[in-house]
């Protein structure tokens, strides 16, 4: 199992798709985007759910946390059942978010990867992609890494997704 | 857990979103679309993966089946861990597809729902949505239901997604 | 040229895709969605631009109106230069919106089509599609037709997009 | 009017969104993607239309060319009517594609911008974005620029979209 953590617009999804392309075996990819897609629409912008404020701040409530926990269990079960799984996540809770995964993972081997990107560069890419609330990239760039421990860090500021993916893949095989 | 089975363009995703809106508790939604999204891009149109032929026929290989099995395990684990989960699937294998879920589910209670739609109407909606290979709707309309047992069937030919969702929701609570 | 007018989630885009499929000649399709996509992101939710309120009300400002006018000129030019063009629009301004097109069209022949849908049914489809602010369908269902004159009206409440498209196509050839 | 030309995955759309964000006045954005979206679905993969081969080669037929010509007329009309317009295009025909625009533009002032990207880097980004036929980026990277004249060239290989946009914007005002 590979778990990538990084702020919005740091380039996690691009790295995941490149990883799936360069790794010889088939890997399943899940992430916070696919989790949010699985939620009822009303939990977006609802107390208890996930709120994307106009300034890019993201806050999540108790219902979100509870569902996230069982979702985590399910993803880990796939890995335990033999699937190769890549997860990209945004550790809004910092070390507590990492701990949530650790609790589910038990002794399952995992490669922890930090995906960094300069705050200003990520904010520019957020404008370029055009499908995100402005401000998330800057708000999350540093805070999601505080207190989190990695096996490997990549930085997309000056390095292409494909090159980052090859670096990560070299640690897998 | 609620499992919906029906052919492409029968209206499963619309019913799922309506179900998430009318059910008072938060339900997570997963389905074959989200599973295919989790696969490496190269498994689409590859031997061993999933192939969407130009005529709408869909065929899946051994690698696809193997990953689908562990994915099923993971989704069932979420339900077992307390999440309310709606799945929409296309039982290309008919009763064998239902059996795959049954094997994972064990004694977990599930509501089996068949989502039917007249073949010609589904083919028209496939044109109207514009994002699917033409021919899938007609090819799958009947075959996915053969030999499958349901607690409840809805038919979107003349009934709105929201009305179907209310019918299903009435069986849940 | 064919111009369709109807509220959000009345089924205009589906009818347009079906029309493009059933009409033997190639028709270009444009609409308010493609116009909004052409605007700077900051004009969404900005004074002067277009604002989608949380309750589904849509309001547009002076900058939006000015750009819409030149966009209309451009679309009409394509028709004048020989292209077959289908436009789907939401006449938030009612007869004034129709007048905007009339002014550009001059003597160019056009088929005016009203796309109606029962307010409650449209609201249900808005939930089912899951990608629109809730409330737009109900807010627009009737008001966009007030004072507008049509050559032809279709109603998607009980009629499929494909059937509506065939009805419209019969008036074209 | 600003016209950007570059191969697939060179980063044109990102630059356009950044340009719309940094330019103080509202600019409308159109491009080959929005043109292809306006075509009937059957013209994708049809003789006479546009064909995306499995190896990334793109070929277009007579019907496509004819519609593209009237579309060009319409876009230029918007600029002539006072709109600020950014177009991103892929000059598959090289200088002939540029000439098509020139013929419509007449004396309308335009800023010609070449968007270059190293072929290998563009191919990697094509994998990372995950929504394009593999091979287009490499096939188009150089050929679309042959014989085309620019006022300005940017290269996204080592320069962010936002920085390229600022460079272009400096030539506008």
Structure token pair of residue C106: 């001059």
Q: How many CB atoms lie within 10 A of CB B25?
A: 10
Strand partners for A112: A3
Question: Active-site residue A118, yes or no?
Answer: no
- Distance CA(C137)–CA(C12), nearest Å, equals 12
Residue of C120, C134, C156, C162 best to disrupt the B interface, most CBs of B under 10 A: C162
Taking CA–CA distances from D19, the nearest residue in chain A reads A128
Residues of A in contact with B47 (CB under 8 A): none
Distance from CA of C53 to the nearest CA of A (A): 13
Q: Do B34 and A34 touch (CB under 8 A)?
A: yes
Find the helix or strand (DSSP H, E) in which D84 lies. none
**At A83, is the pLDDT very low, low, confident or very high (cuts 50, 70, 90)?**
very high
DSSP string covering B39-98, please? S-GGGBTSTTSEEE-TTS-EEE-HHHHHHHHHHHHHHHHHHHTT--EEEEE--TTTHHHH
pLDDT at B86: 98
pLDDT in tens, A107-145: 999 999 999 999 999 999 999 998 888 899 999 999 999
Structure token pair of residue D159: 């320069």
pLDDT in tens, D115-147: 999 999 999 999 999 888 889 999 999 999 999
Strand partners for C3: C87, C112
Three-class SS of chain A: CEEEECCCCCCHHHHHHHHHHHCCCCCEEEEHHHHHHHCCHHHECCCCCEEECCCCCEEECHHHHHHHHHHHHHHHHHHHCCCCEEEEECCCCCHHHHHHHHHHHCCCCCEEEEEECCHHHHHHHHHHHCCCCCCHHHHHCCHHHCCCCCCEEEECCCCCHHHHHHHHHHHHC
- Distance CA(A101)–CA(A95), nearest Å, equals 10
- Distance CA(C170)–CA(A47), nearest Å, equals 51
**At A166, is the pLDDT very low, low, confident or very high (cuts 50, 70, 90)?**
very high
pLDDT at C152: 98
Residue of C26, C60, C165 best to disrupt the D interface, most CBs of D under 10 A: C26
pLDDT in tens, B6-16: 999 999 999 99
pLDDT at B152: 98
pLDDT at A133: 83
Q: Do D160 and A18 touch (CB under 8 A)?
A: no
Structure token pair of residue C4: 């369709």
Q: Do C77 and D74 touch (CB under 8 A)?
A: yes
**At B106, is the pLDDT very low, low, confident or very high (cuts 50, 70, 90)?**
very high
Nearest to D134 by CA among D36, D54, D59: D54
- Calculate mean pLDDT across residues B121-130: 96
Chains in contact with B via at least 3 Cβ–Cβ pairs below 8 Å: A, C, D
Distance from CA of C130 to the nearest CA of A (A): 7
**Is B131's pLDDT higher than 90?**
no
Q: Is the pTM of this model over 0.90?
A: yes
Q: Do A125 and D161 touch (CB under 8 A)?
A: yes
**Is C98's pLDDT higher than 90?**
yes
Which of residues A59 and B37 earns the better pLDDT score?
B37
Ramachandran assignment for B30, one of left (phi > 0), alpha (psi -120 to 50 degrees), beta (any other): beta
pLDDT at A54: 80
pLDDT at B96: 95
pLDDT in tens, C32-67: 999 999 999 988 877 788 888 888 888 888 999 999
Identify whether the C-beta of residue D20 lies closer than 8 Å to the C-beta of residue C41.
yes
Classify residue C57 by burial, with Cβ atoms within 10 Å: 0-12, 13-18, 19+.
Answer: middle
Residue C121 has its nearest CB partner, among B17, B130, B160, at B160
* CA A75 to mean position of chain CA atoms: 13
- The DSSP output letter for B143 is G
pLDDT in tens, C109-156: 999 999 999 999 999 999 999 888 889 999 999 999 999 999 999 999
Kindly report the average pLDDT of chain C as a whole number.
94
- Calculate mean pLDDT across residues A52-81: 91
- The DSSP output letter for C86 is E
**At C12, is the pLDDT very low, low, confident or very high (cuts 50, 70, 90)?**
very high
Q: Report the share of chain A in percent with pLDDT over 90.
A: 84
**Is A87's pLDDT higher than 80?**
yes
Q: Residue B48 contacts by C-beta under 8 Å, 6 or more apart in sequence?
A: B61, B62, B63, B64
- Calculate mean pLDDT across residues D20-34: 96
- Distance CA(D115)–CA(D157), nearest Å, equals 10
pLDDT in tens, A11-49: 999 999 999 999 999 999 999 999 999 999 988 877 788
pLDDT at C48: 81
Identify whether the C-beta of residue A93 lies closer than 8 Å to the C-beta of residue A148.
no
Q: Residue B32 contacts by C-beta under 8 Å, 6 or more apart in sequence?
A: B88, B89, B90
Residue with tokens 């990209």: A88
**Is D56's pLDDT higher than 90?**
no
**Is D47's pLDDT higher than 80?**
no
- Calculate mean pLDDT across residues C91-112: 96
Residue of C38, C39, C41, C123 best to disrupt the A interface, most CBs of A under 10 A: C41
Taking CA–CA distances from A126, the nearest residue in chain C reads C41
Q: Report the share of chain D in percent with pLDDT over 70.
A: 99
Residue with tokens 């892929």: D90
**Is D48's pLDDT higher than 90?**
no
C-alpha R_g of chain C: 15
Q: Residue C172 contacts by C-beta under 8 Å, 6 or more apart in sequence?
A: C2, C23, C111
Identify whether the C-beta of residue D161 lies closer than 8 Å to the C-beta of residue D14.
yes
ipTM exceeds 0.90: yes
The CA distances from residue A72 to A16, A31, B73, C77, in Å, are 18, 10, 13, 55
Minimum mean pLDDT range among A57-61, A143-147, D4-8, D83-87:
A57-61
Taking CA–CA distances from C38, the nearest residue in chain D reads D29
Chain A residues with CB under 8 Å of a chain C CB are: 41, 127, 130
Taking CA–CA distances from A19, the nearest residue in chain D reads D128
Find the helix or strand (DSSP H, E) in which C31 lies. strand C27-31
Distance from CA of D10 to the nearest CA of C (A): 20
pLDDT at C52: 83
User: Taking CA D40 as the corner, what is the angle to CA A130 and CA D47, rounded to the nearest 5 degrees?
Assistant: 115
DSSP string covering D105-150, please? HTT---EEEEEE--HHHHHHHHHHH--S-TTHHHHHTTGGGTT---
pLDDT at A60: 87
């Amino acid at each position: 199992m590979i778990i990538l953590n990084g702020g919005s617009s740091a380039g996690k999804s691009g790295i995941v798709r490149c990883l799936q392309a360069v790794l010889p075996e088939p890997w399943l990819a899940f992430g916070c985007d696919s989790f949010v897609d699985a939620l009822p629409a009303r939990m977006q912008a609802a107390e208890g759910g996930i709120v994307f404020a106009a300034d890019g701040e993201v806050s999540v409530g108790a219902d979100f946390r509870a569902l996230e926990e069982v979702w985590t269990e399910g993803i880990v079960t796939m890995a335990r059942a033999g699937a190769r799984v890549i997860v990209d996540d945004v550790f809004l809770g910092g070390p507590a978010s990492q701990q949530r995964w650790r609790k589910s993972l038990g002794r399952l081997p995992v490669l922890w990867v930090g995906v960094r990107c300069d705050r200003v560069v990520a904010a520019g890419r957020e404008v370029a992609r055009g499908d995100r609330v402005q401000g998330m990239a800057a708000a999350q760039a540093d805070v999601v890494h505080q207190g989190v421990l990695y096996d490997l860090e990549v930085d997309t500021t000056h390095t292409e997704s494909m090159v980052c993916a090859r670096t990560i893949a070299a640690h897998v095989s």
